[in-house]
Structure 1
């Protein structure tokens, strides 16, 4: 009786079902087809020009940001941006973005409250995306550059679609070439800001929700495009590569192995962060729907409202409004390097003021949603590290993981991103990071969904 059962198990595990065999044969024939091999070669080639375009974009954005928030205040006799600085800069950002969003083709890109992307943006829509990002992000809009980068990568990759169709001829590869190329270009672009091809590929693949043969067909172009593009920044041979402001933490608090106190506090803190970030994102959806009428005027009001919140942070904390403005990348590095330079009250005000400004920008302006959320989570995590038994490094780790998980909705991507940010200090924190991601995503489901699509006036 037991022998017969064992034989049944062995036969069931050793034999593939007809559908599995058919899928394996289809995958093999597709990967070895001339059209798909040419597609992989093209993806490898487009990775380098996409990376160079992203380098130029990020360099211009960083220089404009330095001009607005450091050089101009110094020219006016201030040692840092004064408390009122965000009011005129955000008002100007709103005035610039309003006509771009309501009148230009492409509307400056997708609304950031819906995540990193959607359908690929065509080359004709790309000018409005680049103009919106370079004109508004350096002025203090509380969003990151990741969404514009993905649009740039996808748009440039789509320029190669016509040539790919001519080479691939007819068939499934030719039909899917635009989607595969656009996705590969977006992955190559976003890898430049996330510090490498792995986290970018995981982010794109996990968001696509694919499996089996479809996953492999999508993953290979993304990996090869982002890998060749990464050579622009990592270097090749004696060439050291181009320096770029990728998201990273040059210094983190002294590493410590999480103990029982870190896990006991980490679960409720991760749940708190998950619910708070989910509510802030829900407010962004409300803002998006509010823009259905008098869109241009209300875009300006939202930008000015974000400036008021940044000003309020500067007045209440006697700190620079730059800490609460922009994507939060530099502020996150400063927070990780010297967390005790912020009082608990300052960290809570940073979360409140920057978080509300982020909500306004999510629903009305243009940019990426991830970078500010990571800073918000890190700020709350470090603020809670004053609780007895919760360490600074575990607080920072679980805060970044929980916030990035909620804003992306992608648990694996959030975990990998947090691990890469912490660098050598991530090994001991990995169990806490994964638990924080799971708890935050579950807790965020307690917040009523508000993701109904808003309708904006048609752009020409």
Structure 2
């Protein structure tokens, strides 16, 4: 594709127009795969948490049932990672949101363990696995249908389409890829480089909206008139939420090392399921799953919880996130972080009722998401989307300033493989000295 870019490396208008159709199709397929994954997990979830306990006369919210289901889920996922070809790909604790495409042979095992985790109540979201699944599938598909399209471009537009589908809007993808493009430090117009990812993101978001109507917005009292004291409240809650998130980030590698010290996936993932079962029995159904639906339930029924109960929910879900992410389960950390942040906001509102709920929840989500995801755009977007209020955005922008300073030099919630040790250079071979 010699005419695909100009002298600065910027895509030409001709290339952008020509690749718009493949980009849109990639977005649609990304959304369809995500929708299929969600539907399959939902069917299994209904069977495990509704049909089966109803058939045998068991309360699915009882501690024993929660413990049993999560323990069996851990065993099933551990068995799958151990025995199924592909072994579900790399541990999600070691992967970022967007990574290189995986082999097609790995995808079935990753798909299986992701469905099991989502249906079984594991405190992880679908974002990391579904982006990996879609990237692997679509890189192979596009290479066959449009071999001239560069692989790195397919990775970008697939990730954009999947992010657009996950959040139900291309805005999230635009914000994420603004940072990605900036990190590339290449010349050319930003929007030229964002054009194809945004085509894919818009197609993915529209497809998912037509199929499932995803929404992060939680019904809560309307907030239209910011006050000076609300700025202080947002900053304080954001800082507290960030501190909680950073506590999880710092303990994460320690917990990961403990679980993986058992060496065998069947052992450490099963143990992770047992621990998650104990935590779920302690925290109740509200602390299970990825947390999106549970976040809405918590906000709507907040009057039913005393402050100490809300604090317990925050603590249980935070520990569950660390355990699930450390014990070899495949899943993303953003969705449960959003739930924990919302719970921090509900707790703050319960302690100080004069703090508007939208301010408290938005700041809590901002701080937790920022600490876990280390992406200011995503944190701002999700916090604003959850509240559904434009008036809260200036407060969130102010609140993100001190919280970003807190996380900018902190470690990421990511396990990086140790760098290979450099071998010392071999000593030069010396020729034998001539006899004197």
Shorter-chain TM range is 0.7 to 0.9
Q: Does 1:326 align with 2:306?
A: no
Sort the Cα spacing of 1:438 and 1:268 in 2 relative to 1 into closer, same or farther, 3 A: same
Q: Does 1:55 align with 2:23?
A: no
Q: Does 1:303 align with 2:266?
A: no
Q: Does 1:436 align with 2:409?
A: no
CA deviation digits over 1:33-62, x for unaligned, max 9?
55x654333112222222222211111112
Q: Which of 94, 97, 103 is equivalent to 1:122? A: 103
Structure 2 CA distance, aligned partners of 1:165 and 1:452?
35
Q: Does 1:356 align with 2:308?
A: no
Offset of residue 411 of structure 1: 0.7
Q: Which of 169, 180, 184 is equivalent to 1:210? A: 184
Q: CA RMSD in A?
A: 2.6
**Farther off after superposition, 146-155 or 256-265:** 256-265
In structure 2, the residue matched to 1:233 is 208
Q: Which of 377, 381, 394 is equivalent to 2:341? A: 377
In structure 1, the residue matched to 2:152 is 179
Q: Does 1:220 align with 2:195?
A: yes
Sort the Cα spacing of 1:301 and 1:80 in 2 relative to 1 into closer, same or farther, 3 A: closer
Offset of residue 428 of structure 1: 1.2
In structure 1, the residue matched to 2:8 is 26
CA deviation digits over 1:413-455, x for unaligned, max 9?
21122222222xx211112222233332323458677855257
Offset of residue 333 of structure 1: 0.9
In structure 2, the residue matched to 1:86 is 66
Q: Which of 131, 138, 152 is equivalent to 1:150? A: 131
Q: Is the 8 A contact 1:384 1:395 kept in 2?
A: yes
Q: Is the 8 A contact 1:194 1:247 kept in 2?
A: yes
In structure 2, the residue matched to 1:16 is none
In structure 2, the residue matched to 1:415 is 380
Q: Does 1:278 align with 2:246?
A: yes
In structure 2, the residue matched to 1:335 is 298
Q: Does 1:71 align with 2:44?
A: no
TM-score, scaled to structure 1: 0.80
Sort the Cα spacing of 1:216 and 1:128 in 2 relative to 1 into closer, same or farther, 3 A: farther
Look up the SS of the partner of 1:251 in the other structure: coil
Sort the Cα spacing of 1:25 and 1:93 in 2 relative to 1 into closer, same or farther, 3 A: same
Sort the Cα spacing of 1:215 and 1:287 in 2 relative to 1 into closer, same or farther, 3 A: farther
Offset of residue 216 of structure 1: 4.4
Sort the Cα spacing of 1:134 and 1:308 in 2 relative to 1 into closer, same or farther, 3 A: same
Q: Is the 8 A contact 2:93 2:415 kept in 1?
A: no
**Farther off after superposition, 250-259 or 356-365:** 250-259
For structure 1, list consecutive stretches of 5 or more residues without a partner in the other structure.
1-22, 169-173, 235-240, 314-320, 456-460
In structure 2, the residue matched to 1:107 is 88
| Matches for 1:153-172 after TM superposition, within 5 Å | 153-163=134-144, 166=147, 168=148
CA deviation digits over 1:84-116, x for unaligned, max 9?
222111111211222333454253454246542
Structure 1 CA distance, aligned partners of 2:78 and 2:249?
21
Sort the Cα spacing of 1:188 and 1:298 in 2 relative to 1 into closer, same or farther, 3 A: same
In structure 2, the residue matched to 1:266 is 234
Structure 2 CA distance, aligned partners of 1:363 and 1:44?
36
In structure 2, the residue matched to 1:98 is 78
Q: Is the 8 A contact 2:221 2:357 kept in 1?
A: yes
Offset of residue 129 of structure 1: 1.5
TM-score, scaled to structure 2: 0.85
Q: Does 1:136 align with 2:105?
A: no
For structure 2, list consecutive stretches of 5 or more residues without a partner in the other structure.
419-436
Offset of residue 255 of structure 1: 2.3
Sort the Cα spacing of 1:401 and 1:348 in 2 relative to 1 into closer, same or farther, 3 A: same
Structure 2 CA distance, aligned partners of 1:428 and 1:143?
30
Sort the Cα spacing of 1:206 and 1:449 in 2 relative to 1 into closer, same or farther, 3 A: closer
Offset of residue 67 of structure 1: 2.3
In structure 1, the residue matched to 2:172 is 199
Q: Is the 8 A contact 2:94 2:417 kept in 1?
A: no
Offset of residue 376 of structure 1: 0.5
CA deviation digits over 1:174-208, x for unaligned, max 9?
5xx11111221122122222111121232244256
Q: Is the 8 A contact 1:96 1:136 kept in 2?
A: no
